[in-house]
Amino acid sequence: MSIEVKVPVLGESISEATIGEWLKKPGDAVAADEAIASLETDKVAVEVPAPSAGVMGQQMYAAGDTVQVGALLAMIEAAGSAAAASPPATPAPAPAAAPAPAPAAAKADPAPAPSVSSGEPVSLSPAVRRLVLEHGLDPTGIRGTGKDGRLTKEDVLAAAESAKAAPAPAAAPAPVAASAPTASGAAGRETERVRMTRIRQTIAKRLKSAQDTAAMLTTFNDVDMTAVIEARNKYKDLFEKKHGIRLGFMGFFAKAACLALKDVPSVNAQIEGDEIVYHNYADISVAVSAPNGLVVPVIRNAETLSFAGIEKTIADFGKRAKDGTLKMDEMMGGTFTISNGGVFGSLMSTPIINPSQSAVLGLHRIDQRPVVMPNGEIKARPMMYLALSYDHRLIDGREAVTFLVRIKEAIEDPTRLLIDL
């Protein structure tokens, strides 16, 4: 009996996907709910599970093909019909003459064991693929310890450590006549051509579309982080003990943004045709890194959440973004975006608006800088640059500056977050 595997529903407005890789080959045993393929959509990589146990049968598409939602993807054969899923054997030649006996020596030689570096394609999860590329390793030369011999992150990290620890082979002394390399044989000029993933293609199109559509402008301010750092240092242990999550800076900025969005509602609005749509809620998109690029999951109704609720949501998004398990609907919508480039060491940037939103707040690294205090004294203070990129078609310069000032006031005096001021 054959069971059809179809492309699952991938989320609202998502009608197609690209086959990133097949995790099972025809003839492989498959357990119920085991992933057999990875699909790349515009936002995330989605694994397709087997509907029942059996043997991997015919695959209707190859890796890299585009498939529609609901299309027949593959067949799962019942375990008893494994022979049907196996590639057909080469037919034996007609018995024209008796074959010559094989040499005795050839009989004695056992069949060689398959090599881990045989050059066969290796199925890699997105996280493993990223590690392989980062360390410049050949995945076919790494022995996998995962299910069905698949590579795990630990396998790749162990191989990377082994490569570092292995002594470099001693170079044979080159003849004097050949010591000068020719231009065509110069080392270090290799190139590699890698196909863009569907997610990366979509990121490129959306960001370019934002530049082409919005009248984008960026305004800057800086903020003294002293009060937030002191509050965090004072309460972080009690906070973690009570809520089971660390108190970070993003909770403060998310709450400050909610207050500022109330005061300047145009920053939380968007243009649809010839109308402006205002939102009386704050669905804050938070940019986080994933193996295949930047993803922007949404904190729904952030204005109603506590500090702990915001920090838990962000931590969960970050973990699942690295594991590739974010759901499609978790990245849909959003009325305003916060992007924290400071975690990577960014001093200043002009972030690009996330369509179809109208503004994005960019956070940057904290540096000790000299600041003139109100009494004229100069002190070293932990300062951060803030950047607000906005659509000037909807948001005036006065409103953009006012929004950043509200953020600055709330961060420099966190009590405002408690009394809604």
Catalytic annotation, residues? 392, 396
Per-residue HEC secondary structure of 165-225 comes to HCCCCCCCCCCHHHCCCCHHHCCCCCCCCCCCCHHHHHHHHHHHHHHHHCCEEEEEEEEEC
- 127 within 8 A of 323, measured Cβ to Cβ: yes
Tokens 């205002």, residue located: 278
CA angle 404, 408, 413 (to 5 degrees): 150
Q: What is d(CA 226, CA 367) in angstroms, rounded to the nearest whole number?
A: 11
The CA distance from 56 to 75, in Å, is 7
The two tokens of residue 191 are: 């190139």
Helix (H), strand (E) at residue 243 = helix 226-243
C-alpha span between 153 and 252 (Å, rounded): 34
Contact 287, 88 (CB under 8 A): no
Instruction: Please report, for residues 7, 15, 16, 161, 328, the alpha-carbon distance to residue 69 in angstroms, rounded to integers and kept in the order given.
Output: 5, 5, 6, 42, 14
Estimate the crossing angle of helix 307-323 against helix 249-263, to 10 degrees.
110
What is d(CA 14, CA 45) in angstroms, rounded to the nearest whole number?
13
Q: Which residue has the tokens 């881990």?
A: 116
DSSP secondary-structure letter at 228? H
